Amino acid sequence: MFDELDTIVLTHSIEKYDLKKGDIGTVVHIYADGKTIEVEFSTAEGKTVAVLTLTPADIRLMARNEILHVRGYATI
């Protein structure tokens, strides 16, 4: 379902990292079990905000007809 370097969308907020539903990340690793996925979230300047181990329920692929949206991230 997911491949490394896929652009994904977070399906729910993760308050601990100030990530919001709809934030965009990149798949950086898929574990052999296929049930856990390492995802990196970063700023527009490329600074890493978080690298999290998530499940397929936490993320979805970005649809071709979606438009990107920008928001500030004050934690950095």
Q: What is the pLDDT of residue 75?
A: 67
Helix/strand/coil (H/E/C) assignment for every residue in the chain: CCCCCCEEEECCCEHHHCECCCCEEEEEEECCCCCCEEEEEECCCCCEEEEEEECHHHEEECCCCCCCCCCCCCCC
pLDDT tens track, the chain, 76 positions: 899 999 999 999 999 999 999 999 999 999 999 899 999 999 999 999 999 999 999 999 999 999 998 999 876 6
Q: What is the pLDDT of residue 73?
A: 87
Given a contact cutoff of 8 angstroms between Cβ atoms, the answer to whether 5 and 58 are in contact is no
Structure tokens at 62: 């970005």
Q: What distance in Å separates the CA atoms of residue 50 and residue 16, rounded to the nearest whole number?
A: 10
The domains located in the chain, with CATH, are: 7-61 (2.30.30)
Evaluate if pTM is beyond 0.75: yes
